[in-house]
Structure 1
Amino acid sequence: MTPLLTTRDLRKNYGGLRAVDGVDFAIMPGEIRAVIGPNGAGKTTFVSLICGRVPPTSGQIVLDGNDITDLPAHDRVRRGIAYTFQITSVFSALSAYDNVALPVQRTLTGRSKGRLHAGVMSALERTGLADRADTTAGALSYGHQRLLEVAMGLALKPRLLILDEPTQGLSDGEIESFMQLAREIARDATVLLIEHNMQVVMELADRITVMNAGKILAEGTPEQIRANAEVQRAYLGTEA
């Protein structure tokens, strides 16, 4: 099977700081891949390079065989890459419904209120927010704002959905529902998530990429990562 997305010798420097330092990476279609590592490991910078929020210093990003290294973020969205931010970026003055309607409109070729409504409610229902459709986003709890961001990403019908700390602020019950949702999403799309909740990572991910100091320290199944001595020293510690 051909990877959906690959990076080759990908680098991002900020002055003398090598935030991403020569990363070779590949993710397969339908995979749930977790990226973990200590704070400052380069995880968010790495996914920001993939979605086009920041330009690379050097290296290459290939999506489904096409070089997208120089494409702006909005063109990557059109090609199927959706990204939810580590810090919530919903439109707080708009309702949950209207927040999701904005990305749904990008997927519609013509004006159809019926298709728009169906697309919005489908995304809200999948994330458990249908009963909060009319609630102003700013009035939602932080955890529900996180889920609203996921709904906005789903509304784009992505091929690759990148989630940055998606379970932050969620209750235990909401985390369980999120994991079920992620497995459902992976039937139609590929999921790449940055996550600090190791229980979520170990239960949800097909494979795990561990970053440290801008480089990939290790990759493997949850069992392989849990047993990796280097990963234990650099990140997992007593959690391994």
Structure 2
Amino acid sequence: MAAVTLLSTDGLCRHFGGLRAVDGVDFSLNRGEVRAIIGPNGAGKTTFVSLICGRILPSSGSITFEGRNISALPAHRRVELGIAYTFQITSIFGNLSVFDNVALAVQNSMHRAGGSFFWLDEAQMRRRIFEALDHVGLDDRHDVKASALSYGHQRLLEVAMGLALSPKLLILDEPTQGLSDAEIAGFCKLVRSIAEDATVLLIEHNMDVVMEVAGRITVMNNGTILSEGTPAEIRDDEAVQHAYLGT
């Protein structure tokens, strides 16, 4: 089956004064991929995905999602179209239960019909919440206060909040930061299961994780794409070794 492009950018730029944080990036992501974006600190990775999800708008260039130009759409409209970015939903409310934290994310996932908004009904909401919690293994902790969760489980709660939005594209920014080896192994398994229903784009510094879960890797440096390829191709790329892998 031929690959179907889910998301693409054309000449995407974001400048902050004289700083070219993202500088003319042409990028394409196929439906069903697990794609990793790597690069040294300051490479433009987080700015790039912030442009994709609408947290910031481009200085120039365009972003296309499912054939539609979304360059000027605000973040909440992109969520409605199916783009979820964990950075938008990592404000866990410690005094609320795990269930209620995910409920807040679901309530922000409104559908537009005839120019007006309507909410999911209670049964739909509960089903979506428990499906998301079950996916990350937190369904048995639904009534626990978020503040009582371990750090690793809080990160899983963040992922559940993203999954509850029923995304077509789930963007994860440094999802394994601070996790134990056992938690990282569980996260890799989780990403593979998420990819059965959604496209995954992740920024990640843990190269073992990148090499295990990503089908393709995009390497950024100085606001541009330095290289793209399979894990094996990136591992053997001399320019990447020099700029990022330190070899």
2:106 corresponds to = 104
* Residue identity opposite 2:39 in structure 1: G
Matched residue SS, 2:246: helix
Residues 67 and 17 (structure 1), Cα distance of their counterparts in 2 relative to 1, 3 Å cut: same
1:121 corresponds to = 130
For structure 1, list consecutive stretches of 5 or more residues without a partner in the other structure: none
Residue 141 (1) aligns with residue 143 (2): no
User: Partners of 1:205 and 1:133 in 2: how far apart?
Assistant: 30
Structure 1 residues 122-131 or 102-111, which shifts more?
102-111
Residues 133 and 58 (structure 1), Cα distance of their counterparts in 2 relative to 1, 3 Å cut: same
Task: Note the C-alpha offset of 1:148.
Answer: 0.7
Task: Note the C-alpha offset of 1:139.
Answer: 2.7
Percent identity over the alignment? 65
User: Partners of 1:17 and 1:111 in 2: how far apart?
Assistant: 43
User: Partners of 2:119 and 2:93 in 1: how far apart?
Assistant: 24
For structure 2, list consecutive stretches of 5 or more residues without a partner in the other structure: 112-117
Alignment of 1:89-238 (within 5 A): 89-105=91-107, 106=109, 112-238=121-247
Residues 23 and 111 (structure 1), Cα distance of their counterparts in 2 relative to 1, 3 Å cut: closer
Please list the CA deviations of residues 146-201 of structure 1 after superposition, one character each: whole Å capped at 9, or x if unmatched: 11110000001100000001111222222112111111111111000000010000
User: Partners of 2:22 and 2:220 in 1: how far apart?
Assistant: 9
Q: Is the 8 A contact 1:107 1:156 kept in 2?
A: no
Please list the CA deviations of residues 44-82 of structure 1 after superposition, one character each: whole Å capped at 9, or x if unmatched: 000000000011111100001100000000000000000
Task: Note the C-alpha offset of 1:87.
Answer: 9.4
1:35 corresponds to = 37
* TM-score in terms of structure 1 length: 0.94
User: Partners of 2:163 and 2:50 in 1: how far apart?
Assistant: 18
* Residue identity opposite 1:14 in structure 2: F
* TM-score in terms of structure 2 length: 0.92
Structure 1 residues 117-126 or 19-28, which shifts more?
117-126
User: Partners of 1:113 and 1:50 in 2: how far apart?
Assistant: 31
* Residue identity opposite 1:202 in structure 2: M
* Residue identity opposite 1:5 in structure 2: L
User: Partners of 1:87 and 1:186 in 2: how far apart?
Assistant: 20
Q: Supply the RMSD in Å over aligned alpha carbons.
A: 1.7
Q: Is the 8 A contact 2:89 2:161 kept in 1?
A: no
Q: Is the 8 A contact 2:14 2:23 kept in 1?
A: yes
Residues 9 and 110 (structure 1), Cα distance of their counterparts in 2 relative to 1, 3 Å cut: closer
Residue 14 (1) aligns with residue 16 (2): yes
* Residue identity opposite 1:188 in structure 2: D
Matched residue SS, 1:62: strand
User: Partners of 1:152 and 1:158 in 2: how far apart?
Assistant: 11
* Residue identity opposite 1:167 in structure 2: T
Please list the CA deviations of residues 84-139 of structure 1 after superposition, one character each: whole Å capped at 9, or x if unmatched: 02994222221111011122232576653333222111111111212221222223
